[in-house]
Structure 1
Amino acid sequence: MFEILVIIFAGFGAGIVTGLVGASAVVIVTPFLVIFLGYDPYSAIGISLATDVVASSVSAFTYSKHGNINIKGGLLIAISAVIAAIFGSWFSAGMTPTALGGLTGIIILLTGISFRRKPINQRVEEFKNKFELNFFREREKLSSVLFGTFIGLMTGIFGAGGGIMILMVLTFVLDYKTHMAIGTSVLIMTFTALFASASHFIVEQHIPYFELLLSGFFAFAGAVTAATFANGASEKKLSKAIGTAFIFLGLIVILN
């Protein structure tokens, strides 16, 4: 019963986080499975990625209904990220559980600090005003492939679907508006997480059907809930609350 409750809470939380800010399920699912249920980090990352598929696809559908998806512009990023995610998942299979768990915890911790400091839309605007990005925009195809490859590797190794990183590239490099960038990024994340999770399960030669069904169902519910109530709170408050949770979970994973 305890295991069921943990997976339900992790899946629902992952859906909420993805639906609100486009963050990956890894920041919720992996810590809960590793800390409370003693899962091997590699297995936990595979389940996180599969949960990402559900949460991201539901979020992407919601954004598409409002006309906030443009996959054509991000196609090169998507293709590069999917290919790199497969290689990344193979690479992480050779890492020790301690190293993989510790590095994943650091990624979660840094994500939390980032959310605590500033909301994503404010960070985007300040970055645009501060830096000259014509170099990347003039080489749009090359930049898309390079950034997409990096994002895919991070997805495959650490389980993070790359939503926030994809959002940054779409906004900074391709000059998408924030809502369009979020919608497109969660759509791309659906495919990177799908191929990376499949690669994880192939390497493991085991598919945890029970965990996937339970986590995926409640991730769906969480994403729908987030899409419904996202406008009920300011983006600043949401970012700070989510950032605090990420910092707490990241520290626990690192210490564990």
Structure 2
Amino acid sequence: MKTSMEYFWYVAAALGAGVGTGLAGLSAATVMVPILIVLCPSFAGETGAYQATAVALASDILGSAVTTAVYIKHKNIDLRRGWVMLVCVLTLCTAGSFAAWLAGDVVLGGFSLFLTFCIGIRFLVMPETRRREAGAAGARLDAKGVAVSLFFGLTIGFGTGFVGTGGGMMMLVVFTAFLGYELKTAVGTSTFIMTFTALIASASHILINPAILLERWDALVICIVVATAASLVSAQFANRVKSRVVGLVTGGVLTALGGSMILLNYREQIMGCALLWQTLGCLGRFVLYIVAAAAILLAVHFTCRLPRELFRKMLHLPAFLSVVVLVESAENWMAASLAAAVFALVLYPVLRLLEGWRGYDDLFVQRRAGEVKKSLLMLFLMLAGLIAICWGLLGRPWIAVTAVLMWGVGDAAAALVGKRLGKHPVRLLMADRKKTREGSAAMAAAAFLTGTGCLLAYTALPWYICLLAALVTAPVAALTELMSHNGNDTVSVPAASAAVLWLLSLVMW
């Protein structure tokens, strides 16, 4: 027996599907299937996901059609380079639908949920998917373009028939990244193709399981009407705003939707997963540390007039000290490593959004566009990997802490001393010519002192062994920093230092 709440979810699912189709050419099932199979009890049966996919495909027919009409009106469609994709996708749709029936509910349900989340992350990280050398509209396909269209067209066609989701998104990526389409032209072309694929896949689903038409007529009517109206409105909006805005909005909605649906669908498994709660606990404590550090730095920024380079290195302080917080606040290496990786993946799209703020470059003392988000992504992913290797594989978390702090303090010393006192550029082969001997000497000295202090604090080694280990590792760190270009020292120096410390641990103690 259906409740009024279930009808509410029909409307909500159709609205989300229509918005996704109109904004970015997404298949209606990308949004609709997760909502129907998780929140609507009548779709929780043995063939629930299959029937939900059929309803979504039926909704996609008119939704994609009206979206295509809007994009054609604004001259945002190019079939001259898309005809091979069209033929391939249509050919494989029916085969995919039959395979979906054989696969059953578990495969379809899980795939749809995780695909929704992944597509959302992709949009947040890359709101505009386009190739730099965009091809001319209406140009003929070359041999490479035909090969790309054949490979992806056949794959996407089968996938669309199989799960009823992701076809529009995958075509969008192929059109922009491989065939050089402008984003809105790619959306218009993909929705044109999706109109026919949805028709074929929907008909195949219903012919294979006629109960869809007889038992789900109310869901079909509601979802088709609402999704079509939402697609029309959102397509009009998408053709009047910048592509970046469309991508970011779509990414935020789909990431939130996919994440919430995964939590709901796997709530029992999640509640019983000890590692998840350990990771969340570590992540929560780490976020509190970041918030406190950010508050202090903001107060300093707005109350003190510090030199730009000094404030830039002050920003680095809480970043490299993160390794201490992660190691000390985690119950095990997996929780610490996962917390660092999750933080990196969340932070990157947040910083990408903030880049549009006028004071962004001034606050972060950014030297070139995209420097901060790239550096922080590299840093926290490096921490995740280094903790996993040093703590998880080698059983020596102190190696990760010592290596990262030697790099962080040494890099700050090198920059401050090199800017103020550096008079003699380094002439070594492969070295960064902007760096000086004075800066490198300062890094070696600072890394030596930091390494000695870390080894004394984290190990029970005699003081002379700590001094000797730091004395050997510090020059390696300084030399690696000299040879690193374009900010790659964030990864190269800690990795080299950790390798030396590990080798010394095998020999000296």
Normalising by the smaller structure, the TM-score range is: 0.7 to 0.9
**1:82–1:195 contact (8 Å) kept in structure 2:** yes
Distance 2:260 2:164 in 1: 15
Which position in structure 2 is the counterpart of 1:124? 130
> Residue 176 of structure 2 contacts residue 186 of structure 2 at CA under 8 Å; is this kept in 1?
yes
| Distance in 1 separating the partners of 2:259 and 2:120 | 8
Q: Note the C-alpha offset of 1:148.
A: 0.6
Distance in 2, matches of 1:246 and 1:116, equals 13
Deviation at 1:254, TM superposition (A): 5.1
Deviation at 1:202, TM superposition (A): 0.8
The 1:235–1:82 alpha-carbon spacing in structure 2 relative to 1, beyond 3 Å, is same
Equivalent residue number for residue 108 of structure 2: 100
Which amino acid counterpart does residue 148 of structure 2 have in structure 1?
Answer: S
The alpha carbon displacement at 1:137 in A equals: 4.8
Q: Are 1:7 and 2:10 counterparts?
A: yes
| Identical residues among aligned pairs (%) | 31
Q: Deviations over 1:196-249 (max 9, x none)?
A: 111111111231322111101001111122123334682354144224334324
Mapped to 2, the partners of 1:241 and 1:101 lie a distance apart of: 21
Match of 2:439 in 1: none
Distance 1:137 1:168, change over 3 A: farther
Pair 1:27 & 2:30 matched: yes
- Aligned partner of 2:40 in structure 1 is 37
1:114, 1:243 within 8 Å by CA — same for their partners in 2?
no
Which one-letter code corresponds to 1:65 in the other structure? K
- Structure 2 CA distance, aligned partners of 1:239 and 1:158? 20
Alignment deviations for residues 164-183 of structure 1 (CA, whole Å, 9 cap, x no partner): 11112222333222221111
Distance 1:24 1:50, change over 3 A: same
Contact kept? 2:31, 2:254, Cα under 8 Å: no
Q: 2:210 aligns with which of 205, 225, 228?
A: 205
1:158 counterpart (163, 181, 206): 163
Distance 1:113 1:235 in 2: 14
* 1:66-145 equivalences in 2 (<5 Å): 66-119=74-127, 121=128, 123-125=129-131, 137-145=142-150
CA distance in 2, matches of 1:84, 1:253: 33
2:175 is aligned to 170
Provide the C-alpha distance between the structure 2 equivalents of 1:160 and 1:240, rounded to a whole number of angstroms: 16
1:147 aligns with 2:138: no
Which runs of structure 1 show a deviation greater than 6 angstroms over 4 or more consecutive aligned residues?
none
Structure 2: tracts of 5 or more residues without a match: 135-140, 268-509
Q: Is the Cα contact below 8 Å between 1:107 and 1:250 reproduced in 2?
A: no
**1:250, distance to aligned residue in structure 2 (A):** 4.8
Q: Indicate if the aligned counterparts of 2:89 and 2:154 stay in contact, CA closer than 8 A.
A: yes
Q: CA deviation at 1:87?
A: 0.4
1:162 Cα deviation (Å)? 0.9
**Counterparts of 1:181-200 in structure 2 under 5 Å?**
181-200=186-205
Q: CA RMSD in A?
A: 2.3
| Change in CA separation of 1:236 and 1:16 when aligned onto 2, cut-off 3 Å | closer
Which range moved further: 232-241 or 4-13?
Answer: 232-241
Aligned to 1:132: none
Instruction: Calculate the TM-score normalised by the size of structure 1.
Output: 0.87
Q: Which residue of 1 aligns with 2:19?
A: 16
Contact 2:131 2:178 (C-alpha < 8 Å) held by counterparts: no
Which deviates more from structure 2 when the two are superposed, residues 147-156 or residues 98-107? 98-107
- Indicate the residue corresponding to 1:247 in structure 2: 258
Deviation at 1:34, TM superposition (A): 0.6
Residue identity matched to 1:152:
G
Measure the CA separation in 2 of the matches of 1:156 and 1:253. Answer: 26
* CA distance, structure 1, for counterparts of residue 11 and residue 162 of structure 2: 24
Equivalent residues of 1:54, 1:190 under 8 A apart: yes
- Flag the 1:51–1:236 CA change in 2: closer, same or farther, 3 A: closer
Q: TM-score, normalised by structure 2?
A: 0.46
- Give 1:29 deviation, angstroms: 1.1
Unaligned runs of 5+ in 1: 130-135
Contact 2:22/2:232 (<8 A) preserved: yes
Instruction: Classify the secondary structure of the residue corresponding to 1:148.
Output: helix
Larger RCO, structure (CA 8 Å, separation 6 or more) = 1
By how many angstroms is 1:79 displaced? Answer: 1.4
Question: What SS does the aligned partner of 2:130 have?
Answer: helix
CA distance in 1, matches of 2:65, 2:156: 18
Residue identity in the other structure for 2:163: F
State the Cα distance separating 1:143 from its structure 2 match.
2.5
